[in-house]
Amino acid sequence: MPVVAWVAAGGCVSQGPASGHGLIPGADWSSVRLVDLTHAFGGETIVWPTEQEFRLVIQQAGETEEGYYYASNRIEMPEHGGTHIDAPIHFSRGGRTVDQIPLEELVGPAVRVDVRSRCADDRDYRMTIQDFVRWEAEHGRIPDRAIVLVETGYGRFWPSRERYLGTEQRGRNGVKALRFPGLHPEAAQWLVRERRVRAVGIDTASIDYGQSTTFETHVTLLSHQVPVFENLANLDRLPDRDFSVIALPMKIAGGSGGPLRIVAVLPVRSKP
């Protein structure tokens, strides 16, 4: 089934008479709303302490000799800065590059697992299998092949590097000082083995907690060809389940990741 048709049939875009929007024939777009889960890229974009800052270089902005206005910029940025995707090759030799990830792996039904209360007083918290078990006891089983979004509450700290990363230091000393929550590798293995997840996202700078030196959660997910979305925004605007996600990265040939535009598609009735 084509991806757009799959989204329309997935429950978050209603079927019915054409609404005139023209996006998906037969879809009633008045019955859904979109939530942008992407931080804007700019001078305040947070990147890993050892990475180059995002730069927008103005090349032209003004009237031309021919009499029309023309603007054109150049961007300079790392693959893994701001809201971005980690492709499997990022931590898995021979894994897919970002341009090789099938679109079907980037679009699908999603759930939001809220662990804000556990992260509030523990910058080093790593989400456990038990957190998912508790969530399922309240909200039902995580569907197989779902996209799982983990909300730690750290999205509210963006763009303060000190509050979001735990440090303003740059370079290797900055990496050593990172303090933010993540996903425990055992929980990542459970998601892969027991729920066969399509992708996993988080509202921190890494799916591994800040103090990790071995990045076992990255290795676990990416070695199983499960893409990772990091530095997500606005997860507090999502319901716990019954919505879809569309995550489209820049299609960089051979890339280990790239900037990501990710949106959630919710029924109008859904409330966070």
Assess if residue 19 is contained within a domain. no
Instruction: Give domain status of residue 2, yes or no.
Output: no
Q: Which residues contact 142 (CB under 8 A, 6 or more apart)?
A: 111, 132, 135, 136, 148, 191, 195, 197
User: Among 264, 250, 41, 231, which residue's Cα sits nearest to residue 146?
Assistant: 264
What's the whole-model pTM score? 0.90
Evaluate the CA torsion angle 126, 130, 133, 135 in order and state its sign: negative
Report d(CA 125, CA 102) in Å as an integer: 32
For residue 96, the domain's CATH number is 3.50.30.50
Count up the domains in the chain and report the number: 1
Q: Is 145 a member of any domain?
A: yes
Q: Determine, yes or no, domain membership for 13.
A: no
C-beta separation of 4 from 13 below 8 A: no
- Tell me, what DSSP letter sits at residue 141? P
Digit-coded pLDDT (tens) for 200-259: 999 999 999 999 999 999 999 999 999 999 999 999 999 999 999 999 999 999 999 999
Task: Please indicate, yes or no, if residue 7 is contained in any of the structural domains.
Answer: no
pLDDT tops 80 at residue 119: yes
N-to-C CA span, the chain: 30
17 in any annotated domain: no
For 184, the domain range is: 34-267
125 is a domain residue: yes
The gap from C-alpha 171 to its chain's centroid, in whole angstroms, comes to 24
The mean predicted confidence, pLDDT, of the chain is 91
How far apart (Å, rounded) are the C-alpha atoms in residues 89 and 95?
4
Q: Does the structure show a pLDDT above 90 at 27?
A: no
Instruction: Copy the structure tokens of residue 42.
Output: 């700019």
In a domain, 221, yes or no: yes
The rounded distance, in Å, linking the Cα atoms of 136 and 119 is 19
Q: For position 271, what pLDDT does the model report?
A: 63
